[in-house]
């Protein structure tokens, strides 16, 4: 057998090792080329889906807001004005009543007896007065004929005056008893809504009772008392002194639903030194009854109207350490950071004093994924089909 030379074996081994290294490098290069191909390039430059809205030019109202509570213009606790048994209760709890409606009745029979007695006393005293006047005429004739002393005539004159006073007293007593009979019928002193009944029929009630029979609260119109900072008071007073009626809207706790609209009535005569606020009262027709006594509301006092303001959705406003900003979508579908100065915010819209022009697109959804210069893909509010813009 022929013997293999050692140097040939070494050479073959070197060739095999070189071929293996070349294969590994080639495979690695192919993998890298696949990874850094068009799909990777697309992954790094994929546009960010966002929802954008066009800034618009509009008139914006300038409001002063304050927390307030609904206060009735009038609240009355109905009391009896005479003593007696409560025989009838003619109202239902929670019922709406008008001024003069009959609410309850007191047993009137004792006062009817007093009236009969007073009328009898009047008839007796009127008879005595008539007789005294007849005697007075006789004494005048006798005194004229010098047949009776003048002193007797003077006595008769005073007697007639005495009976006249008694008759007037009797008439006053009759009027008083008739008034008590009127008070036996308890009527509503004003229009409003009745509360819960405080006394049941059959009870003896007195004019001095503390609780009364029922409470009536006036609901139409109704007032809202709210506060504003003292620094905001001068422009309000200037408007009121000029005779301008300032509109006021009442919103719910979350300021998402407007409950009623009214006008400012007056301003309190002093500022609370502990809070630095002043109280204002507004009046609302409340025809639909949406405002209820002691209800907490947010009052929006419209002080002025800013004409031709640039308005964007409030959702577009972003905050940073440098202040407020928005992302503006440029024509090449890239996003740029634009610092803005916020003017008036009303509901879901905000008026900008600077930073954005009307018709520019601002990002309202998806801004958290953006950076300066990011490419964007405009979509509708539902995240579905692409859209060019969405009105605020």
Domain end position, chosen among 276, 306, 336: 306
Q: What's the confidence (pLDDT) of residue 165?
A: 95
Same domain (yes/no): 279, 178 = no
Residue 33 lies in a domain: no
Same domain (yes/no): 290, 172 = no
> What confidence tens digit (pLDDT) does each residue in 135-159 have?
999 988 888 888 878 888 899 999 9
- Tokens representing residue 234 in the block: 């001068």
DSSP-derived secondary structure for 77-129 = EE--SS-EEEEEE---TT-EE-TT-EEEEE--HHHHHHHHHHHHHHHHHHHHH
Same domain (yes/no): 97, 190 = yes
Could you list the residue range(s) of the whole structural domain that residue 197 is in?
Answer: 81-105+184-217
Max distance between CA atoms of the chain, in angstroms, equals 202
Domain end position, chosen among 168, 201, 217: 217
* Whole-angstrom distance, CA of residue 252 vs CA of residue 120: 65
Same domain (yes/no): 302, 225 = yes
* Whole-angstrom distance, CA of residue 318 vs CA of residue 326: 6
Q: What's the confidence (pLDDT) of residue 63?
A: 85
* Whole-angstrom distance, CA of residue 208 vs CA of residue 49: 76
Same domain (yes/no): 177, 134 = yes
Same domain (yes/no): 319, 204 = no
> What confidence tens digit (pLDDT) does each residue in 263-276 have?
999 999 999 999 99
CATH label of the domain that carries residue 164 = 1.10.287
Same domain (yes/no): 94, 201 = yes
Residue 196 lies in a domain: yes
Q: What's the confidence (pLDDT) of residue 307?
A: 83
> What confidence tens digit (pLDDT) does each residue in 224-252 have?
999 999 999 999 999 999 999 999 999 99
Residue 371 lies in a domain: yes
Same domain (yes/no): 199, 90 = yes
Domain end position, chosen among 163, 183, 203: 183
Residue 158 lies in a domain: yes
Q: What's the confidence (pLDDT) of residue 38?
A: 44
Same domain (yes/no): 130, 195 = no
Same domain (yes/no): 262, 324 = no
Residue 17 lies in a domain: no
Same domain (yes/no): 169, 153 = yes
Q: What's the confidence (pLDDT) of residue 10?
A: 58
Residues (pLDDT < 70) of the chain are 1-45, 347, 381-392
Q: Say how many residues make up the chain.
A: 392
CATH label of the domain that carries residue 369 = 2.40.420.20
Residue 23 lies in a domain: no
* Whole-angstrom distance, CA of residue 245 vs CA of residue 263: 6
Residue 230 lies in a domain: yes
Query: What is the rounded (10 degree) CA torsion for 185, 191, 195, 200?
Result: 10
Count: domains in the chain: 4
Q: What's the confidence (pLDDT) of residue 220?
A: 92
β-sheet bridge partners, residue 262: 248
Residue 280 lies in a domain: yes
Q: pTM of this prediction? A: 0.65
* Whole-angstrom distance, CA of residue 72 vs CA of residue 283: 10
């Amino acid at each position: 057998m022929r013997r293999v030379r050692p140097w040939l074996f070494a050479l073959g081994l070197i060739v095999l090792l070189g071929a293996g290294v070349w294969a590994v490098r080639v495979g690695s290069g192919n993998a890298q080329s696949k990874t850094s191909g068009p799909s990777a390039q697309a992954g790094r430059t994929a546009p960010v889906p966002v929802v954008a809205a066009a800034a618009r030019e509009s008139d914006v109202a300038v409001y002063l807001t304050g927390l307030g509570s609904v206060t009735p213009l009038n609240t009355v606790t109905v009391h009896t004005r005479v003593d007696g048994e409560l025989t009838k209760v003619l109202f239902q709890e929670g019922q709406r009543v008008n001024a003069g409606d009959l609410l309850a009745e007191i047993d009137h029979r004792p006062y009817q007896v007093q009236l009969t007695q007073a009328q009898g006393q009047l008839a007796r005293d009127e008879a005595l007065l008539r007789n005294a006047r007849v005697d007075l005429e006789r004494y005048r004739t006798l005194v004229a004929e010098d047949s009776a002393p003048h002193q007797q005539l003077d006595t008769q004159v005073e007697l007639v005056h005495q009976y006249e006073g008694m008759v007037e007293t009797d008439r006053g007593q009759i009027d008083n008893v008739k008034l008590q009979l009127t008070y036996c019928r308890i009527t509503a002193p004003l229009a409003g809504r009745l509360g819960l009944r405080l006394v049941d029929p059959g009870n003896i009630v007195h004019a001095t009772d503390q609780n009364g029979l029922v409470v009536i609260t006036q609901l139409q119109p109704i007032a809202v008392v709210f506060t504003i900072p003292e620094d905001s008071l001068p422009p309000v007073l200037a408007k009121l002194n000029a005779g301008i009626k300032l509109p006021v809207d009442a919103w719910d706790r979350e300021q998402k639903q407007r409950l009623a609209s009214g006008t400012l009535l007056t301003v309190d005569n002093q500022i609370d030194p502990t809070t630095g606020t002043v109280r204002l009262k507004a009046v609302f027709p409340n025809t639909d009854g949406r405002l209820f006594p002691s209800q907490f509301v947010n009052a929006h006092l419209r002080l002025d109207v800013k004409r031709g303001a640039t308005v964007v959705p409030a959702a577009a406003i972003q905050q940073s350490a440098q202040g407020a900003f928005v992302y503006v979508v440029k024509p090449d579908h890239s996003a740029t950071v634009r610092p803005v100065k916020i003017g008036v915010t009303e509901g879901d819209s905000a008026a900008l004093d600077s930073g954005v022009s009307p018709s520019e697109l601002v990002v309202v959804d998806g801004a958290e994924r953006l950076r300066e210069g990011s490419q964007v893909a405009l979509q509708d509010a539902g995240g579905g089909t692409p859209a060019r813009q969405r009105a605020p």
